[in-house]
Amino acid sequence: MADYSKMWTDLGLDLSGHDALLGVLGGAYADIFLSQKNRPEGMKYFDFVMSEVHGLRIQELMDAKAQGRKVIGSYCVFVPEELILAVDGVSVGLCAGAEFNFEGAETVLPRNTCSLIKSAFGFKLGKVCPYLEASDVVVGENTCDGKKKSYEMLAPLVKDLYVMDMPQMKSPSGKALLKEEYNKFAAKLEAVSGKKITAESLKKGIEIVNAKRTAVKRLTELRAADPAPISGLDALLVNQVFFYDDPVRFTDAVNKLCDELVDRVKKGKGVFVAKTPRILVSGCPMAVPNWKLPMLIESSGAVIVGEESCVGERGARWMTEAKADTVDGLLELLTERYFNIDCAIFTPNPSRVDYVKEMAKKLAAAGVIHYSLQFCQPYIMESGPVEKNLEKSGIPTLRLETDYSQEDAGQLKTRIEAFVERLQK
Amino acid sequence: MKCAGIDIGSRTVKLAVFDNGKLILSRKAVTSYNPLETAWELMDGVAFDTITATGYGRHLMKGHLDCPVVSEITAFARGARYFAADCGAILDIGGQDTKAIALDREGTMSKFEMNDKCAAGTGRFLEVMATALGFTLEEFSQAALAASKPVKINSMCTVFAESEVISLTSQGVAREEVAMGIHKAIVSRSVGLLRRVSPEGPVFFAGGVALNACVRKLLEDKTRRTVFVPPDPQIVGAVGAALGA
């Protein structure tokens, strides 16, 4: 990697903390990803992206900023990248996947806060997330109570925090609220960028994001093959890079990877032997570099064939129809698309479990591991009924609740191994 | 053919050897800071053709003997069926874990639950509480059984419960009553776990805590289910591992 210290210093990063973070990250990446056997060649692109995740990509963001483009950082799949692209902005997911500086985060947040939120604060207070520091606007969203209230504490720490309200029920008024919020967000983006959103620019944004989602959807479908042509860890990584990379280049890389996987499937080549127990993971998002659970699962004799998660199917699933000629018409269609997302903040949320079943069937998963982050009320609350429903439908389910720490790895491994043993019978 | 099973738990290491389907040897020792060394001592002079490892140290063992491993949950499911051929529900309270396992008619594990990372309500919890009250483990169970009434213990966290116990004794509450409260708390938590996987029928109770007479009695009282404890409840995992080979 080139020397980026000047760029990092200019961004206001704490170099020693940042070096420590990159050191741990690089080591973990080598241990978890590079040590895997039979990886597709196409993963080399993603290895490169990860090796430059705080380097070259940030340089690109700085170059974009120098050209007058705005960088918009966010933490949620409800923030439409289409609108950001419509003002020629750059959309980036912000760091929230590592146990970094939790003691710092706990000076402003209660200890009983989920790891994802704590991580976002740990990165901010430790000054180690270049994406956050490079963002012209940070977008918050009223999804769960934890995030909603934590934005009150985040506001004074960042340059420009913009909070979007969120509906909690799939009702006509809920949908109207979402559309109104997207309207306001569009106006905010126009004000920040000084560019007007036109039907043409929005259509182009929709096209780019649709293409990106179509590529990821293709990847998902290829994972239905036995033997699985790609590991769950690598597929998760693709879904994680989804939030950081240049969308057009990313789409191209995913399609190239898929071309290779098509060939693998044809030849019956996989990452693990055929008949390896297949697991679908469902639940909370796994932000980079949260690879804890997938690593435990895939080192316990199973392969992950899908993620029913925001970083995964729930984030990439639906397309936006661009069949309108006015900005308002397109916004309506965009709202239509995002209102489908069956996040656990909605009540009731029956379509989620139905879709978990559908995914399990399509991907020939033998069982589901439901993953909740500790203190994530919406997903923990939903996990009980989801487990009951799945077991009743004959889908073995293991419910796990964990955080970003490594201290429960032993207990988790025991449970995962026992679950895999159950699936093998 | 001699098949051995070794269960390296958080508090004890257990070894069982079968010769053509017959249990011919069982041994156990307290786990030291070096579980591998404890395991070698236990296996010293014991002859076997195959060995399967289970328990927390199973992967450590695999690294040294290149032997197959099985999770404690599957090992207990198999082991329980050796002692009770028609067993359908297992409660295992060990040193740092509590597990509830349901078996179908054929003896296949159909569902299980296990505590999260916190060791609340496990054998370790009982040890810490006994020490806080100045009892040995044996006295602890007897004292609880002798109590006229229990006092309610609210906290299940080992650290908080210890301070709760200290505050109760400093208020002058008899330590027998506190002991009973602690036993009730551990049973209440375990029954919750058990009910999630198996609502009725006899319960096979294993793990070190099954040696505790008070926990056994309270478990029967609270569930109104028959509780069966094998002659040596600690050996069940090692037996299951040996039978899995």
What pLDDT was estimated at residue A152?
Answer: 98
Angstrom distance (rounded) from CA A112 to CA A106 = 9
Angstrom distance (rounded) from CA A350 to CA A345 = 12
CB atoms within 10 A of CB A100: 25
The full set of domains in chain B, from first to last, is 1-84+231-245 (3.30.420.40), 87-229 (3.30.420.40)
- Cis preceding linkage at A294, omega within 30: no
What residues in A contact B74, CB-CB < 8 Å?
A: 418, 421-422
pLDDT tens-digit series, residues A409-423: 989 999 999 999 999
What residues in A contact B71, CB-CB < 8 Å?
A: 414-415, 417-418, 421
**Closest by Cβ to A414, choosing from B73, B108, B109:** B73
**B237 min Cα distance to partner chain A (Å):** 13
Residue-averaged pLDDT of chain A: 97
B114 touches chain A (CB under 8 A): yes
What residues in B contact A392, CB-CB < 8 Å?
A: none
- Rounded mean pLDDT, A308-324: 96
**Closest by Cβ to B71, choosing from A401, A408, A418:** A418
What pLDDT was estimated at residue B96?
Answer: 86
Question: What is the bridge-based pairing of β-strands B12-19 and B22-30?
Answer: antiparallel
> Which uninterrupted H or E stretch holds A370?
strand A367-373
What residues in B contact A425, CB-CB < 8 Å?
A: 108-109
**A418 min Cα distance to partner chain B (Å):** 5
What residues in A contact B108, CB-CB < 8 Å?
A: 425
First to last CA, chain A: 48
Residue B114 to residue A408, Cβ atoms within 8 A:
no
What pLDDT was estimated at residue B156?
Answer: 72
**B109 min Cα distance to partner chain A (Å):** 6
Residues of chain B with pLDDT below 70 are 117-119, 245
**Closest by Cβ to A408, choosing from B56, B70, B116:** B116
Residue B74 to residue A421, Cβ atoms within 8 A:
yes
Which residues make Cβ contacts (< 8 Å) with residue A249, sequence separation at least 6?
Answer: none
What does pTM read for this prediction? 0.93
- pLDDT band at A32, cuts 50/70/90? very high
What pLDDT was estimated at residue B245?
Answer: 57
Residue A411 to residue B116, Cβ atoms within 8 A:
yes
- Cis preceding linkage at B231, omega within 30: no
**pLDDT over 70 (residue A97):** yes
Residue A418 to residue B108, Cβ atoms within 8 A:
no
What pLDDT was estimated at residue B155?
Answer: 77
CB atoms within 10 A of CB B14: 27
Q: Are B111 and B195 in contact (CB under 8 A)?
A: no
For B:57-96, CB contacts with A below 8 A are 69-74
**A169 min Cα distance to partner chain B (Å):** 30
Angstrom distance (rounded) from CA A319 to CA A209 = 8
**B99 min Cα distance to partner chain A (Å):** 10
**B148 min Cα distance to partner chain A (Å):** 38
Residue A418 to residue B72, Cβ atoms within 8 A:
yes
pLDDT tens-digit series, residues A117-163: 999 999 999 999 999 999 999 999 999 999 999 999 999 999 999 99
Residues shown for chain B: 245
> CATH topology for A204-318+344-424?
Rossmann fold (3.40.50)
